[in-house]
Chains A and B, each alone.
Chain A
Amino acid sequence: MTVAAIALNRFGLGAQPDDGVPDDPKAYLLAQFDRYDPRPPALAEAQTTAAVSSELAAYFDAQRQNRADRKAPPGAMMPAAGGTPPAMTASPPMQPAMTGQKPSAPTGAPLDPVMEARRLAQRQNRQVYIDSAGLRANAALATSAPMVERLVHFWANHFAVSADKLEVIGLAGPFEFEAIRPHVLGSFRDMLYAVERHPAMLIYLDQAQSIGPDSPFGARAAQRNPKRRPGLNENLAREIMELHTLGVRTGYTQADVTEFARAMTGWTTAGLGRGGGGGARNAGNPGDFVFVPQLHEPGVRTIMGKSYPQQGEAQAAAVLDDLAVHPATAKHVATKLVRHFVADDPPPAVVKRCEGAFLKSDGDLPTVYRALIDSPEAWAPQPAKFKTPWEWSISMMRALGMQQIGAQQIFGLQQQLGQPVWKPGQPSGWDDIAGSWAGPDAIMRRVEAAQRFAARAGQVIDARERAEQLFPGTLTPATRQAIARAESPQQAVALMLVAPEFMRR
C-alpha cells in the first residue's frame, strides 16, 4: 500500500470517490482533529439519554402500579397470566424484534406485564436502537474526519455495552453519542467518567442494583428479611479494572475487585431503579447519574494497597482517578489502540511509544494518537488488518459514494455479517483480530452482500476507475484484471468490493 492509501484505508473508513489523494498523509490525518464534529448534522435527530430514560421510567412506574393493582384484594380484575414479567426481573437477552408484529392488548383491559414489556422492547428497538444505528452509519458516511469517527467506534467497543437487556436496547446509541463522542479527543479520564456514570453502563453491568450490605438501606432490608439480605454486585467494578482500565492479569486481586465494588455502592441512575432502593433513586431526572448515600457501604476501602478514606461518591471517584492514569491502564489502552490500527500482534515499539505518550500526558488522547501516527510501523506497506464487518460495510458504502443508508438496511446487514451494532453480547466488545472475522462463511456473506449492493450502484460506477481512486497506487494486477474482465459493470463493482485490497486495511 502507498502511504496515501494507508491514510485513507488503514487509519480512516475507506476512501470516497471525491476524496482525492492526500499529498501529506500525516498532515491529512492530524487536520482531522480540528475538523471533527462531536455532534454532526447527521446526528441531529438522535434520541437523547434523557428522552429514552423518561420512557423507560414511565414504563417502570406503570409496571409498579400494575403490580400494586394486582395485589389488590379479590374482586379486583386480574389478568390470567400471572407473575412478574421475566424481562423485568431477570434481564434476559432480548432478541431485537424484526418482524414488526403488532402488540394486541385491548384498551381498558388490565395490562399484561409480559405483553407490555415486549411492546416497550419493540418500540425501543425500532424507534431508538435501529434508528440510532442508522444515524451512526450516516455520520460515518458523511464525515470529513474519518480517522476520528473510527476512534469513536473504537472507544465505543472498548467501553462496550450490549443491547441484551431491555434498558440497554434504547440507551446504547445515546451512550455512544453522549458519553463517547464528546470525549474522543479529550482525556481518557473524562471519557472514563462519562462512560461509568451513564445509565447504559450502570445498568448493563448491574451496578445500578448493587447495594452495600451494611449501608443504611442494606441494614434495614436485612432487618426486615434476614433471609434475603441485599448486597453487592461486583460486575461493573470487575470489568472497569479488567476491561476498561488496567487490563486482565495486571496484579489486582479478587479482594481488590470486591473492595472497589464496595466503594462504588451508591453509584446509580435516577428513575430506572428496580429492586431494592428504587424509591431512593428517584432524585433527579430519569437517566441522570445519582449518588444515593443510603446504598453506600460505609468505611475506608483498601484497593491495590492504597487506602481510600473518602466517603460517599468521592470514594469511587478517587479510585477511578487513580485507575485512569495507572501505568497498567496506559499499557492496556496503548496495546488495544495499536492492535486496532497497526496489527493483530501489536509491535512492542509502537505500544511503548503510545504508552509513554499516555503516561506523560496523563491520558491526553490526541497526544497518544499523535504518537501512533508518528510511528513508522503504522505505515508498513503490507496491509495487516482484516476489516471487521462494520469496517467493511462502511468502507463499501463510502466507496459507492453513498451519502445515506436506511437504518433498517445497515442494521440488518450487520446482523447478517455477524456483528450486530451495539450487541457484542459481552462487556469486552468485539474482537479486533483477523481470526474473529476471517471465516469461510463470513467471506461468503460479504460476497453475497457485495453482489446486492453492486446490483443497485453498479450501473453508474466504472469500477476500473473507482478502484484506482480508492487504492491509489496499490491495486494488484489480479484485481485489476478481475474487474476488467467482469461480465457486467455490476459484477465489476461486486468484485471490487470483495477484492483482497478491500477486505483488508
Chain B
Amino acid sequence: MDRADHVSILYDGEKHEVPSGRTILSALEEIGIGFVRGVGCRGGVCGACTVLYRISDETEFHAALMCQEPVQAEMEILPLPYFPQKKVRHSLDLPEGETPHYRVVNYYPEINRCIMCGECSRLCPVGIDVMGYVGMIKRGELREAAWESFTCVQCQACALRCPGQIPQPNAALTARLFHGRHQVPQAEHLTRALEKNRKEDIHAVIGRLRRMKPVEIQALYQRREIEPQNAPPGTWLPEDRTLIMMG
C-alpha cells in the first residue's frame, strides 16, 4: 500500500492511506470520507472542523482545524464536532453603579479558577494567547481581552482541556460585547450623519437622479470626485456638494 505521494493516518480509529500535500479535510474526502457535520466554512473561520491529533511517536497532542491543517504521516486524528460548554444568555444592560468588568465576571466567575497551566494557549489552532485573555478579563482589561481574542473562531479546543473548566471563548465573547457596548465611544460623525439624513429629503434628491436619462446619470457617474486615498478622516470635501446635500 505504500505510495510515495500518500501517507498513512488514523482517523476516528480507522487506518487510511491518504494523498499528502492536502489539508486533512480534502485528503479524507479524496478517499471517500464525506462530511455533513463537522465542516462549515472550509476557510478556517467557523471552527466547525476542530480535531485533536497526535503524531504516533510523540506524547504531545495538538488541536487543529481540518480545513487548514496539512496531513502528516502517522497522524492519529479525533474529530471534535461539539463540546458542551457553559454559555450565559444575557442582555448588554449595565445596572446602575456596575462596571462592565463586574458584569462579565459575574456571568463567568469561573475565570477566577484559572491556574495558568497554559494548555489553552498551547492548543489554540489560530494562535491566540487564551490564558493571556483570561487573565486580562480577570484584571478588568476588557479592551485588551477583546483584541487578543478577536480572531477566535469558537472551535472550543481551549475549553476542552481546561482544568478550571472555564468556557474561555464564551467569556471572551461577553467581554467583547460589554467592551463594545459600554467602553468604546459611539461614533459622533455617525450621529451627525443620522441627524442630517433626518433633516434632508434624501428621497427627493435620489428621485432627481432616478429621473435622469441614462446618458445623464452615466456622465454624472463618470464625473464623480474620488476622495483621495491619503486624505485625513473627515477633512476632504468635493467641489460639487449637491449630492452630499450641503447646498
Do A and B truly interact?
no
Residues of B within 8 A of A (CB): none
Listed in ascending order, the chain A residues whose CB lies under 8 Å from chain B are none
